[in-house]
């Protein structure tokens, strides 16, 4: 009950639900319905709570859509379900088609990069620009040993689903400034993942890291990567926490810059993987400026 209360105080948003093949997918829909749409895609083991510090200000001018992937946050957590990247992309496709959005700005973190860019490569006409936080939409073999261990069926399940080790450690290891992780914030992150059953997607996301050539998701991520070049001239803002020991500057940020050499890049040397948690006060002005400079004349008029 304490965890739920803390989450509500820090996350005072009205929930919406989308019926998806008999499952309920939770999402936030904040801001003016006629505003330019921003779609914020979270990763693992977070949920829409990750973006709570950005939503109030962004929703003053923009329509801010923040889904919880199936198995995450307040969405349903089925036990027999294909928790693969391809499925998460299809789920996002269905939600955004239901909402009938156009000229979308995709904001992506962690697994949200693969999910968001997977949607974008299937619907390039619907996407106007990108904001990228410590993520990937391409395969690199830079997978730390601790993630390889967590992928195992038996030990990984015991650690992640039994002891909540992945989400529990992330609230400490994914930030550079641990003072940001107050007890209410930690409780907020962990609130949806309070039992073995409710942690299934946390484990399945880890298992879905395509470390071998024959992994089903390797073909999905390679297919996304093969089409990223169609967005080479789209506006892209990259904000990167340099103290991320998984999505490193030398590997993953470099991968984005190779593919998008004209992207606007800001490296925050004192921020970690949860870069929004570490630096939302600095991120918001960068996003406001980027969105204002790259908006259409109609958008500028409507949000001015």
Residue 177 confidence (pLDDT): 96
**Residues β-bridged to residue 185:** none
198-243 pLDDT per residue, tens: 999 999 999 999 988 999 999 999 999 999 999 999 999 999 999 9
What are the tokens at 137? Answer: 């939409």
Residue 215, pLDDT score? 94
Judging by DSSP bridges, how do beta strands 15-20 and 23-30 pair with one another?
antiparallel
pLDDT at position 32 is 98
pLDDT of residue 270: 98
The pLDDT assigned to 5 comes to 61
pLDDT score of 194 = 97
The string of DSSP letters for 221-287 reads HHHHHHHGGGGTTS-EEEEEETT-SSS-IIIIIHHHHHH-TT-EEEEETT--SSHHHHHHHHHHHHH
Instruction: Set out the domains of the chain in order of their start, with CATH numbers.
Output: 13-142+216-303 (3.40.50.1820)
pLDDT at 67: 98
pLDDT at 115: 99
Identify each DSSP E strand in the chain by its residue range: 15-20, 23-30, 37-41, 63-67, 104-110, 127-135, 236-241, 264-268
**Quick one: the chain helix, strand, coil %, rounded to 5?**
50, 15, 35
Q: Give the CA count within 13 Å in the CB-facing half-sphere of 282.
A: 14
Q: What is the CA radius of gyration of the chain?
A: 18
For residue 147, what pLDDT is reported? 73
Residue bearing tokens 């997977």? 118
The whole-number pLDDT of residue 36 equals 98
Give the global pTM.
Answer: 0.95
Alpha carbon separation from 293 to 127, 250, 282 (Å, rounded): 16, 29, 17
Catalytic site residues? Answer: 110, 244, 273
Quote the CA–CA distance of 47 and 49 in Å, as a whole number: 5
Q: Which residues of the chain have pLDDT under 70?
A: 1-7, 145-146, 296-304
pLDDT of 142 reads: 77
């Amino acid at each position: 009950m304490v965890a739920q209360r803390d989450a509500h105080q820090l996350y005072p948003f009205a929930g919406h639900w989308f019926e998806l093949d008999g499952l309920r997918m939770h999402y936030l829909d904040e801001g003016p319905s006629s505003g330019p749409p921003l779609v914020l895609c979270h990763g693992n083991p977070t949920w829409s709570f990750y973006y709570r510090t950005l939503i109030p200000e962004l929703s003053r001018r923009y329509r801010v859509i923040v889904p919880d992937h199936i198995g995450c946050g307040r969405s349903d957590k089925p036990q027999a379900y294909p928790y693969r990247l391809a499925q998460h992309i299809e789920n996002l496709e269905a939600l955004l088609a239901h909402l009938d959005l156009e000229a979308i700005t995709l904001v992506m973190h962690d697994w949200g990069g693969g999910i968001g860019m997977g949607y974008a490569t299937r619907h390039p006409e619907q996407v106007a620009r990108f904001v990228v936080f410590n993520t990937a939409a391409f395969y690199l073999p830079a997978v730390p040993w601790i993630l390889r261990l967590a992928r195992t069926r038996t030990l990984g399940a015991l650690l992640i689903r039994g002891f909540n080790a992945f989400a529990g450690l992330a609230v400490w290891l994914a930030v550079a400034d641990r003072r940001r992780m107050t007890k209410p914030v930690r409780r907020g992150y962990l609130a949806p993942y309070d039992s073995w059953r409710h942690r299934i997607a946390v484990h399945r996301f880890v298992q879905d890291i395509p470390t071998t050539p024959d992994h089903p998701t390797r073909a999905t991520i390679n297919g996304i990567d093969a089409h990223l070049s169609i967005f080479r001239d789209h506006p892209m803002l990259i904000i990167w926490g340099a103290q991320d020991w998984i999505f490193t500057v030398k590997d993953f940020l470099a991968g984005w810059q190779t593919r998008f050499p004209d992207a606007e890049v800001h490296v925050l040397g004192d921020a970690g993987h949860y870069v929004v948690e570490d630096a939302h006060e600095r991120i918001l002005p960068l996003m406001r400026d980027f969105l204002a400079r790259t908006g259409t004349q109609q958008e500028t008029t409507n949000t001015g």
